[in-house]
Structure 1
Amino acid sequence: MWPRNGIGLTNSNYTELNQLYERYKDKGLEILAFPCNQFGNEEPGTNNEIKEFVCTRFKSEFPIFDKIEVNGDKEAPLYKFLKSGKWGMFKDDIQWNFAKFLVDQNGVIINRYYPTTSPLTIEGDMKKLLGIS
C-alpha cells in the first residue's frame, strides 16, 4: 500500500513547484521530477502510483519520471552528472528527496539547492536564467 500523507517536504515542494511551473512554463522553464526511494522508503509505490499521486493530488503538469537511484552503485548517470557540478554539504551525495538543480538550456549546472530549500526562494535565480526582469 502506498498512502502518502504529505508529511515533510512533499506538500510544500510540489505546491511551490507547480506555482513556478505555471508562471514560467511559457517562458522556457522545465521542471523534471525523478522520484527516489533511497531516503526513508518515502517513494515505495510503483512508477504509476507515484505519477497518479502527484498528478491527482497536486495537479502537477511537469514530467514525473520513473524512480531512480541518486546515490551509490546504481546511481543514475543523470545524477552523476548533476552532482559533478555543485557540491552538497556531505561531499556529493544527495541528502534527501527534493534536492534541486538549476540547469541552463545548454546543460550547464547553475546551482544546487538542498531538499529543504523552498522552491519559491529560488524563483529569482530562475527568472534571471530565463531572462525575466
Structure 2
Amino acid sequence: MATIYDLFVEKPDGTKQSMQEYEGSVIVIVNTASKCGFTDQFKELQQIYDDYREQGLIVLGFPSDNFNNQEFDSMDETLAFCERNYGVTFPMFKKVDVKGDQASPLFSFLTSQKRGLLTEGVKWNFTKFLINRKGDVVERFAPQTSPEKMRSSIDKIVQ
C-alpha cells in the first residue's frame, strides 16, 4: 500500500518535491484560498507552525481554486498575499485541485484515508489533515474548525 511518502507535490515554481522530505515530521496539510471567508485561518496556522516547529511540526499549504474561484490566478500573487497579510512562512505549494477527477494525488490519498462527515472528498477551503510521524493520517478537521482547536490533537502526537 502506498504511503504519503510515496507521493510528489509541486513547489510554486513547478519543480517536483517528494513528500518523503517530511518523513518523521508531524504534518498539517491544508487546502487554502486567499479570498475565502476562512482566510483568516492563515494567522492561526502560522502560529501553530511557529509554536511547534521546534518539535518537528510542519504546515503545508496547498492553494486551491475548486470552491467559487477564491484563489488568485498567479502563484506570485497568492504567495505575496499570504506573506504580506498573514506573515506566512510555512511552505506553500503550487495550486492544486482537491476534489473531482483532477484532484491531486496527495488530496486523493488524504481523503481516502480520512473521510469527512458527509463526504469523502474535500468539501471546502481550509480542510485540514493531521499526519503523524509515521505518515498516518490521524485526523481531519472541517473548514470551519479553527486551527487553534487542533492543538490538543497536535499535542498528543508531537512528543
Q: Same fold (TM over 0.5)?
A: yes
- Distance in 2 of aligned mates of 1:66 and 1:113: 22
Partner SS state of residue 101, structure 1 = strand
Aligned: 1:95 with 2:123: yes
Alignment of 1:41-52 (within 5 A): 41-52=69-80
Residue 9 (structure 1) aligned to one of 29, 38, 50: 38
- Structure 2 residue aligned with 1:124: 152
Q: Which runs of 5+ in 1 are unaligned?
A: none
Partner SS state of residue 123, structure 2 = coil
Deviations 1:65-107 (A, max 9, x none): 0100011111100011100111113321111110000001221
Deviations 1:26-62 (A, max 9, x none): 1111000001001011013311110111011111110
Measured on the aligned residues, the alpha-carbon RMSD in Å equals 1.6
- Structure 2 residue aligned with 1:104: 132
Q: RCO higher in 1 or 2 (8 Å CA, sep ≥ 6)?
A: 2
Q: Which residue type is aligned with residue 74 of structure 2? A: T
- Distance in 2 of aligned mates of 1:28 and 1:10: 25
Higher strand share: 2
Alignment of 1:65-80 (within 5 A): 65-80=93-108
Q: Which residue type is aligned with residue 73 of structure 2? A: G
| Percentage identity across paired residues of the two chains | 35
Q: Which residue type is aligned with residue 38 of structure 2? A: L
Q: Which runs of 5+ in 2 are unaligned?
A: 1-32
Instruction: Detail structure 1 runs of 4+ shifted over 2 Å in the superposition.
Output: 4-7
Q: TM-score, normalised by structure 1?
A: 0.90
